[in-house]
Structure 1
Amino acid sequence: MEETILVGDDLMMGPPSPVIPPEIASHVLEGVDLCDGILRNLFLCLQINDIEPFCQDELALYRQCAEKRDKELRLRLQDSERKLGSSMPLDQAKERASQLESEVTSLERRLILASAVEGIEGFRQRWSLHGRLTDTK
């Protein structure tokens, strides 16, 4: 049986954390575990041990916490956008919807351009843009 060793890049699998608009951030973030304590422990472990294989528990805990946090944030974000849209006057809601659509179009174009970038830098750009793209759709 082969043992899997996690590294920092494993934390970049899947979409990145959602981008939360400032106007609804206080409502969306309220009561959510931001995983900052686990992240602090991970950095402390890396500082003490200097290499990732000695911090497997911390890496796994942070990854689980971040996935749970991001899932909860995405649900809250969708709910908040829905509530915000239904409470706005119709012309403002239409304007916000068209603004979000233009952001999605811009992000899709940037995602296509980032696909041509070679290596890890292209991967990081696509990974970052992917999360932002799914949050605005």
Structure 2
Amino acid sequence: MDVDRQETMEETILVGDDLMRGPPSPVVPKEIASHVLEGVELCDGILKNLFLCLQINDIEPFCQDEIVLYKQCAEKRDKEIRERLQDSEYKLGFSMPLEDAKERVTQLQSELTLLERRMILASGLPGMEGFRQRWSLHGQLGDTRKRLEALNSGMAKRESPSPPGEGTTPAVKKRWFF
């Protein structure tokens, strides 16, 4: 007995909330923003096309290509920004005056404490608004922790003794922003 089999292909329809699956875009501190964002593709042209598509078509299923393109661009952009943020914090920890570096560590630890408290408050919020706040705060917490680790790593590298035969380290420049 031959049974005709029809393979059904499920089509995935993406919606705007699908952009919230990964971590949110990192927050870049203003004091290092010019260095971190220099040369990074910000995806603004793709985002304009997505908004134009949504404005013309009025619903998301007709804008699948634009949603996918923006999601890919944003993921690549965010990964590059996170790497640059950590690299910048490491360089700051290695090159800025020690007192300034310790002050920056204290500032990042305070920021972490504040974010953790906000996360506790957001855990009591129901529904989509609670989810959005927790999603955003979770991303900020992770990014801030990694920045703090990179800063501490840069400071530790400076404080570790140099291997024999390597001479002394050059004098630290007074201007520590790139």
TM exceeding 0.5: yes
Q: Tell me what 2:50 maps to.
A: 42
Q: Kindly state the Cα deviation for residue 91 of structure 1 after the two structures are TM-superposed.
A: 1.2
Say whether residues 1:109 and 2:117 are aligned partners: yes
Residues 4-49 of structure 1: per-residue CA shift (max 9 Å, x gap)? 1000111111211001011110010011000001000000000000
Alignment partners' CA distance in 2, 1:100 and 1:134: 12
Q: Tell me what 1:71 maps to.
A: 79
Q: Kindly state the Cα deviation for residue 56 of structure 1 after the two structures are TM-superposed.
A: 0.2
Counterpart mapping for 1:4-19 below 5 A = 4-19=12-27
Q: What SS does structure 2 have at the residue aligned with 1:23?
A: coil
Alignment partners' CA distance in 2, 1:31 and 1:22: 16
Runs in 1 of length 4+ with deviation above 3 angstroms?
none
Q: Tell me what 2:37 maps to.
A: 29
Q: Tell me what 2:107 maps to.
A: 99
Q: Which letter does structure 2 place at the counterpart of 1:128?
A: S
Say whether residues 1:58 and 2:32 are aligned partners: no
Q: Kindly state the Cα deviation for residue 111 of structure 1 after the two structures are TM-superposed.
A: 0.9
Counterpart mapping for 1:83-98 below 5 A = 83-98=91-106
Alignment partners' CA distance in 1, 2:140 and 2:30: 14
* TM-score, length basis structure 2: 0.75
Root mean square deviation, CA, Å: 0.8
Unaligned runs of 5+ in 2: 1-8, 146-178
1:120 pairs, out of 120, 124, 128, with 128
Alignment partners' CA distance in 1, 2:138 and 2:95: 29
> Number of paired residues?
137
Q: Kindly state the Cα deviation for residue 88 of structure 1 after the two structures are TM-superposed.
A: 1.2
Unaligned runs of 5+ in 1: none
Q: Kindly state the Cα deviation for residue 86 of structure 1 after the two structures are TM-superposed.
A: 1.4
Alignment partners' CA distance in 2, 1:125 and 1:17: 13
Q: Kindly state the Cα deviation for residue 98 of structure 1 after the two structures are TM-superposed.
A: 1.2
